[in-house]
Amino acid sequence: MSARKLAMITFRALQLGFIALVTAHIVFDFGYPGWWNFLPLASAFVLITVVNRWGGAPDAPRAAREPVEVRPPVTGRWSALNSPADRTPSHGVHAYGQTFAIDLVAEPEPGARPGFRALWPIARRSRDFPAFGAPLLAVADGTVVRTDDTQRDHLSRNSLPALLYLMLVEGSVREMGGVRRIVGNHLVLDLGDGTYAMYAHVRRGSFAVREGDRVHAGQLVARCGNSGNSTEPHVHFQLMDGPDPDTARGVPFTWHGVGVPRNGEVFDVPEPADHASHNGC
């Protein structure tokens, strides 16, 4: 077991220990100062801060890598969020191999995507968003090494009350549940040469491949969803140096014909000429 994997397990155990101590203190009134109960929680966040800022696996050597060029995982008109073209780590931390991760939301036409609301509606159904159900394509030839298709697609979190709930309650619960609860339904492709592509927040029941399958660039592998730690249906894509996002380091990427779009940049990706044949159309 790598040092990072052990650190992540310890982090979640300390959080659960905090909840257990508080519960026991309330029920049995042990008589010691209540602030002692917060020691496991404080230790957990010190640990995760060090690990996340360290980047990747502390027991693996640091090695700067050139961006790996792959195809875009989508076709059509999209907009970038949390882009590594603007900052790294793009999502604020190196955790889960997402140093160079990017988020994409579908923008087929102006106004098609519901905007953020202060109060109402508090949440929307996933199918109200144009990204939901959009095809996800293999970015290169590779092998499917990891799939997880057990989590539901939940309502959006694109209002102030829903976002606060996600940040203050749901996010912490998901963190304690492990990487699966964060990335939701996901798929990992082994592209060779120590490079792995991960698609997160995939729509439940949409997987077109299984572990062990060989895929070709442009082939349909799944569809965009809203599972895991997600505010709305979107594509979360990243390259990593291992198949387990709990221990992997992020790998920089560039998309053929697109590059790395910046935050808010709208871009179009034409459907590849071989896309239809790979999907049996």
The reply to whether 61 falls in a domain is no
Please, which residues have CB within 8 angstroms of residue 1's CB and are 6 or more apart in sequence? none
Q: Furthest-apart CA pair in the chain: how many Å?
A: 71
Above 90 in pLDDT, residue 107?
no
Residue 182 placed within a domain: yes
Taking 70 as the threshold, does the pLDDT of residue 18 lie above it? no
Q: Name the percent of the chain lying above pLDDT 90.
A: 43
CA distances from 219 to 71, 78, 196, 273 (A): 11, 19, 16, 11
DSSP letters spanning the chain: --HHHHHHHHHHHHHHHHHHHHHHHHHH---S-GGGGGHHHHHHHHHHHHHHHH-S-TTS-----PPEEE--S--EEEEEES-TTT-SSTTSS-GGG-TT-EEEEE-SSTT-SPPPBSSSSS---GGGSTTTT-EEE-SSSEEEEEEE----------BHHHHHHIIIIIHHHHHHH-HHHHH-SEEEEEEETTEEEEEESBPTT-----TT-EE-TT-EEEEB---SS-SSS-EEEEEESSS-TTTPPEE-EEETTTB-PPTT-EEEEPPPTTHHHHTT-
Question: What's the pTM?
Answer: 0.78
One domain for residues 185 and 50: no
Same domain, 138 and 273: yes
pLDDT reported for residue 176: 64
Looking at the structure, tell me whether residues 146 and 205 fall in a common domain: yes
**For the purposes of burial, counting CB atoms within 10 Å of the CB of 49, is it exposed (0-12), middle (13-18) or buried (19 or more)?**
exposed
Q: How many domains does the chain have?
A: 2
Length of the chain: 281
Q: Are residues 142 and 39 in the same domain?
A: no
Q: pLDDT band for position 115 (50/70/90)?
A: confident
**132 falls within a domain:** yes
In-domain check, residue 59: no
**What CATH code is carried by the domain that includes residue 239?**
2.70.70.10
Average pLDDT of the chain is 82
Mean pLDDT of 185-193: 96
Q: How far apart are the first and last CA of the chain?
A: 44
Q: Quick one: 47 and 102 in the same domain?
A: no
In a domain, 75, yes or no: yes
146-154: average pLDDT? 89
Tell me whether residue 126 is in a domain: yes
| Residue 113 pLDDT class (50, 70, 90 cuts) | confident
Q: What is the pLDDT of residue 255?
A: 97
Per-residue pLDDT tens digits for 228-241: 888 789 999 999 99
Structure confidence at residue 59 (pLDDT): 42
For 169-188, the DSSP string reads IIHHHHHHH-HHHHH-SEEE
pLDDT, tens only, 33-89: 776 777 777 776 676 666 655 554 444 455 567 899 999 999 999 999 999 999 988
Residue 145 falls inside a structural domain: yes
pLDDT for position 56: 47
pLDDT band with cut points at 50, 70 and 90 for residue 4: low
Per-residue pLDDT for 279 more than 60?
no
Mark whether 153 and 209 lie in a shared domain: yes
Based on the fold, state whether residues 75 and 116 are members of the same structural domain. Answer: yes
Among 15, 32, 54, residue at a domain's last position: 54
The answer to whether residue 171 scores a pLDDT higher than 70 is no
**63: in domain:** no
**Which DSSP string corresponds to 13-26?**
HHHHHHHHHHHHHH
Q: What is the pLDDT of residue 73?
A: 96
Same domain, 152 and 195: yes
Q: In this structure, are 73 and 138 located in the same domain? A: yes
Better-scored residue on pLDDT, 188 or 6: 188
Range of the domain at 85: 68-278
206 and 271 co-located in one domain:
yes
Please tell me the predicted confidence (pLDDT) of residue 280: 44
Given this model, what pLDDT does residue 66 score? 86
Q: Do 264 and 198 sit in the same domain of this protein?
A: yes
Q: What torsion do the CA atoms of 99, 197, 44, 228 make, to the nearest 10 degrees?
A: 110
Nearest to 184 by CA among 201, 207, 165: 201
128 in the same domain as 16: no
How sure is the predictor about 108, in pLDDT bands with cuts at 50, 70 and 90?
confident
